Structure 1
Amino acid sequence: MPYSPATARIDEEAIRALPKAEVHVHLEGTFSLLDLLTLAKENAVALPGPAATLFDISTHTGFDAPDVTTGGGAGAGSAGLSGFLRFLDWQCGLVRTPAQAARVAYAFAARQSASGIRYSDVIVNPTHWNAWRGRDLALFDALAAGFDEADQDGLCRVGMAYSLLRNQSAAEAEAAVAGLVSARPRRVVALSVDGDEKVTGRTGEKFQHAFAAAARAGLRRTVHAGESSGPEGVWDAIDLLQAERIDHGVRAIEDPALIERLIADDISLGVCPRSNVTLGIYPSWEQHPLRRLLDAGVPVTLNTDDPAPLGSTLESDWAVAAEQFGFTYDDLVGFAARSIEASFADADTKAALRADLAEHTAVVPA
């Protein structure tokens, strides 16, 4: 059933002030326009269009970028998805040196801090980063250097989720995990998989051994599922890939038995309503199942997915969600608390965030 909007939009400054985490955001989807202009100049690469409308290209299926892949952070459902994915390939292809990668990482932490985010699990899919093919571990080391510097400067703490591409082979996935297990790159806390479910079909069985190896090695597991595919993708993520968290997962609302399973196993959904609406999974915020999932008892967090090309921030998306679904300030405190619990932050970081949230809400009236 539709929900009446709140009578007043919750102030974004109040949202920024809430201690919180973000658990579903792609590094590839956070490059600012300044980042892209600087990188393009450094590498003497021409822009694919006017700077003022550069991000608009991400909605065009005809975007022409060299050496592209079919991976992606955001989901399917819109005619613009293929262009969006090629845009991500083009922009990540501008990152060619360790110093540039570290700078992108530092900028991400600064962006998150500006939204009041204290900890982030950021997803990195190395198939987008064309200059680093065959050197995944070097890329993650360079990114970690940037996150280390950000940490020293008091910015948002960051853990990385190494993301497989859905159309990679089982052998490629298992080799990638073997490399992670052997090298133990710092700040890599989880294994992920993303890409367009609708195009590739069900891939849970293909990646089952890779995710099992990651679990044995102590890596956390998060899986993009239940976005462009139906509930079956979420079932596969849980039963075959040992997923501890689902990225998106909104199509779970179509299967009551799956809803019960998510609740029973305390598996959270990293929901990104703006992304889902922009990319056509749902036609409007009003028809998005965010409120129905919450009312059913599913642990849900509210995230941005790819905020830069989607033209948003976390505080803006939380404010719009409150307005659209009638969430109160207390409801947003609940989102903040669930974000901390759903994150793959270490125990000390989680404890500190819980304490900060409790202290903040004790002195800030709802």
Structure 2
Amino acid sequence: MAEFDPSKKWVELHLHLDGAVRTETLLEVARRRGLSLPADTVDDLVPHVSMNNPGHIDDMFHAFHTLIPVLSGDHAAIRRIAYELCEDQAQQGVVYFEARYCPHLLTSNLTGESGDDPTAAEVVELVNAGLQQGSKDYNIQARSLLCAIREHPEWSHEMVELCGKYSSDGVVGLDLAGGKVGYKEDANLPHIKAFQDAQRLGVHRTIHAGEVGGPEIVEEAVTEMHAERIGHGYHVLDDEDLYQRLKKEGMHFEVCPVSSYMTGAVQTDFKQHPAKRFAQDGANFSLSSDDPRVFLTSLTRERKFVKENWGFDDALISTLNLNAARACFLPEADKARLVSHVQMLQGP
């Protein structure tokens, strides 16, 4: 691993690759492929692929329904968005990040050309190539997580296999995302089995839970699926016993402040956000931007947001950044080097 860039110190753990695509890139790819979009200029396209006002999580999925078909099946576009994400993150002063995505959602060939549709494995290879080249060109450390999707249990077993196959090529863990909760549904059983297999094989695990649905989703993620981190996790506070248990165990929560309001995952009363309770209790959590282009945000904006709305000071934000470094899915020796780098730059 190359030396960490001394000009960068921020760590981001919860970042969706397909939610970070530049609108300019989306428009260029659509034109090249001859695909139609609801607008012909960048400014006019932004409202169709983003949320500028608080709404519902379904509004977020509407944005993805517009942008994903443009990227799916296009080898050059898939590699390009991974590469450009490295540049965008480097400009934010990020030293290390983990980008998550579902390769199956990027396999569909919508151009009608035969024989060119990448497999899920080939999508992973394209993303790996883009992240590796971007890491080199922008002096940043980029890794990826593969997302199983709740609505598609038939993909989960292959996702675990891909995590294992590409573990030495930049893939550091497995995630579970999607709109439907799936708690105690038969369709959820393949996900549970896949994550149990992942634990047995030594694949790191994080799960979206407690954003949609209640604390039982968090408990299932931790108890049955052996999650090491929880994406969002806000509704864990609806079960005080569970929250206290996970806090004691040091469970890491990937908090995404702006998106939590935009999707309606939490109420819009700034004084009542679960992250304020996390901070008061000294719980283990960090800050991330989730889908920066969809929510018109960035890690820089997230830090400003928590300062202005939750009263987080620089010392707390530094602690949260160090929490992120300690919770990353790098191999232990590389993680220790990242933690030391962050500590050195942040000072005592």
**Fold agreement, TM-score > 0.5:** yes
Higher mean C-alpha displacement, 102-111 vs 257-266: 257-266
Unaligned runs of 5+ in 1: 1-15, 61-74
Check 1:350–1:285 CA distance in 2 against 1; reply closer, same or farther (3 A cut): farther
Q: How many Å separate the matches in 1 of 2:209 and 2:108? A: 28
Structure 1, 347-356 or 318-327: larger mean CA deviation: 347-356
Query: Is residue 315 from structure 1 mapped to residue 300 from structure 2 by the alignment?
Result: yes
State whether residues 259 and 298 of structure 1, in contact with CA within 8 Å, keep that contact through their aligned partners in structure 2.
no
* 2:32 alignment partner in structure 1: 42
Structure 1 position 258, deviation (Å): 1.4
Which deviates the most, 354-363 or 288-297? 354-363
- 2:14–2:254: 8 Å Cα contact kept in structure 1? yes
Which whole-Å CA distance do the structure 2 matches of 1:312 and 1:22 have between them? 13
Q: Which amino acid aligns with 1:208?
A: I
User: Which of the residues 214, 217, 225 maps onto 1:230?
Assistant: 214
Displacement after TM superposition at 1:176 (Å): 3.4
Separation in 2, partners of 1:285, 1:302:
19
Pairwise CA RMSD of aligned residues?
2.5
Query: Which residue is equivalent to 1:246?
Result: 230
- Aligned residue in 2 for 1:158: 142
Matched with 2:101 is 124
Aligned-pair identity in percent equals 24
Partner in structure 2 of residue 102 of structure 1: 79
Structure 1 counterpart of 2:11, one-letter code? A
Matched, 1:194 2:177: yes
SS of corresponding position for 1:197: coil
State yes or no: 1:25 paired with 2:15. yes
Note the alpha carbon deviations across 1:170-208, whole angstroms, 9 max, x for none: x4322332354356572111111100135x445654412
Once residues 355 and 59 of structure 1 are traced to their aligned partners in structure 2, the CA distance between those partners, rounded to angstroms, is 36
Q: Please, what TM-score do these two structures have when normalized by structure 2?
A: 0.87
Moved more, 348-357 or 108-117: 348-357
Cα distance, 1:124–1:339 mapped onto 2, change above 3 Å = same
The worse-fitting range, judged by mean Cα deviation, of 151-160 and 334-343 is 151-160
Q: Does the 8 Å contact 2:8/2:95 carry over to 1?
A: no
Aligned to 1:12: none
Question: Per-residue deviation at 1:148?
Answer: 1.4
2: distance between equivalents of 1:79 and 1:125? 18
After the TM superposition, which residues 212-361 of structure 1 pair with which residues of structure 2 at under 5 Å, given as runs? 212-284=196-268, 286=270, 287-361=272-346
Residues 181/57 of structure 1: CA separation in 2 closer, same or farther (3 Å cut)? same
State the distance in 2 between where 1:183 and 1:38 align: 30
1:56 aligns with 2:47: yes
Question: Which whole-Å CA distance do the structure 2 matches of 1:116 and 1:322 have between them?
Answer: 18
Partners of 2:169 and 2:28 in 1: CA distance:
27
For structure 2, the residue ranges without an aligned partner over 5 or more in a row are 1-5, 110-116
Give TM-score scaled by structure 1 length: 0.83
CA apart distance, 1:349: 3.3
Q: Quick one: higher RCO (CA 8 Å, sep 6+), 1 or 2?
A: 1
The amino acid that maps onto 1:25 is: L
Taking the aligned partners of 2:194 and 2:92, their CA distance within structure 1 comes to 34
